[in-house]
Structure 1
Amino acid sequence: MKVVIITQDDPFYLAKNIDYLLDQLPKDIEVPACVLFDVSPFGKKESFFQKLKKTWKIFGIAFVINYGFSFIKNRFSPETKIRKVLNKRNIPIIELEKAINNPESLKIINSFEPDVLVSIAGNQIFKKPLIELAPKGCINLHTALLPKYRGLMPSFWVLKNEEEKTGVSVFFVDEGIDSGPIIVQKEVVIGDMTQKELINYTKRLGMDAIKEALVAIKEDAVKVIPNPQERMTYFSFPTKNDVKEFKKAGKKFY
C-alpha cells in the first residue's frame, strides 16, 4: 500500500516523530513521497515578522524568547529537520508551487499513485477532489479526543479548561473541520504536564495511532468510531485574555 504524507516544515515537534512513524510502518506500507508546506503556526501564510508580532502580543516576551532559542537551536539540528529525515530515507519531497487543491498540484500528487493520503499538521484546507484522490481515503491526526476540541491548538485548550484527560484521534478527512469518521482514538491522562510536554507526548502517541489506522485500512479492518456533530466543541487561536486565564489556572507552557 502506498501512502503520501502531507505535512509542514515544523522546526519543533514533527521531524523526530515522522522519523519514528517511518520506522514503525510495516514493510508492505510504502511512502513514495511527502508533500511539504512552509511552516505556518497560525493556520495561514504570514511573514516571519507577522508571526513574531502576533506571538509576542498574545503569549508575551518570555514565550517568544523561549521558543526563539528553541527555533534557532533546532534549525541547526538534523534531528529536527523534516527534510533531513526524508532525504536520509530517499523519500522525494513534493514542494507545490500552487495551492494543494489546484488541479496541477493534484496531478503531481496523483503521479505517485497513493492508496492513502496522511495529513500530519497539514496547514491548508482540503477540498473534495483532494480528499477523494486516493482510493482508500485521506486520513488526519488530531491531538484531542474528537468530537471535542475540534480546531486549533487543542493542547492549549484542554489545559486552560482544566481537563483531566485528552488524547489523539486519527480520522477520515471530509469537507468539514475535524468532522470525519474516527478510525483510531487513544486517551492520555494529563496530570501535571506542561503544554510542551503534552504536545510531545501526544505527537508520539499520534504516530502510533496513524500506524494502527494504516494497518487497519490495508487489511480492510477499519471499525469506525462515531464523531457526532451534536457533541462537538470547536476552538480557534487563543487571545491574550485566554492566555491570562491559562496561567491563572496554574498551567505552564514549558
Structure 2
Amino acid sequence: MIKTNIENQVLFIQLNNAPVNALNEKILVNLIETIEEQGFDDNVKVIVIKGNEKCFSAGADIKSFPELTKHERLDLATTSAKLFRLIKTCHKPVISSIHGICLGGGFELALSCDMRVISQDTKIGLPEINLGIFPGFGGVRRLSAMIGQHKALQIALTGEVIYPENIPSLFNIIVESKDEIEKVTNKLAFDIASKSLDSIKVIKQMSNLDLSLESDQIEEREFVDIIESENAKEGIDAFISKRNPQFK
C-alpha cells in the first residue's frame, strides 16, 4: 500500500495503491504505523508524502462504501482523524508532494500536512457533495482555517474541480509540471533536514500554538532551554568562526 525510503534524513512515504491511490482503512493504518515507527526517529528530520507516477490521490475508496458496515465506516473516519492528528503532533515537518489528481480524501490528506508542493496542472477539490456525502476527513474545517470560510464553502458546496492557481496561498511552491515536482520537493526537504533537529522540533511546535499568554510562556521556556542544546552551541560557534555548522 505504501513504499518508504530514507535519504539525507528525509523519510519519503509513497502512496502505492494503483491506479489512483484510493485511500482505504489499510493504507491509512500503514501511514500511521510508518510515521509512528520511523517518523519519530532522530535520524529523520523531515517527512515527505508523495503519490505514484499517475497522481497523488483521488480520495477515499468510494467503490467500497456500499459494502462497509456502519462500524467499518466509523473505523475509517476514526483512523483518518488519528492519522491527521499524528501529522500535526509529530515533531517533524510533513510535506505533501502533489501532482496529477488530488481530490476528496486525498486533498484532505494534503491539507493536513505542514507544507504543500504542487504542479500547476493538478486537479484539486472536494467533490463529495456530488455523491450526496461530505468531506468527512476534516477538509472543510482545515480549508476554512486556511483560505477563509467563504472560499472553503464554495469549493465544498459546488464540488468543482479547480487548479492550484485558484488558491495559490494554499501552497508553498507551485511548479509548472509534474516533471519538476520531485526535484523541487527534495530540495525543500533536504534544505530543512540540514538544519538543527532541536530547532525544527520547536519551530513546528510554535507553529501549532496561538498568540495567547500561555503560548508566550511556552515559547519563553523553549527559547531559554534551546540555547543550552549542543546544536545551538555548534550553530553559534560556527557563526562566530565564520564556518558552516554541522548540525545533528
Greater Rg, structure 1 or structure 2?
A: 2
> Is TM > 0.5 for Structure 1 vs Structure 2?
no
Calculate the TM-score normalised by the size of structure 2.
Answer: 0.29
Could you say which structure has the higher helix fraction? 2
Calculate the TM-score normalised by the size of structure 1.
Answer: 0.29
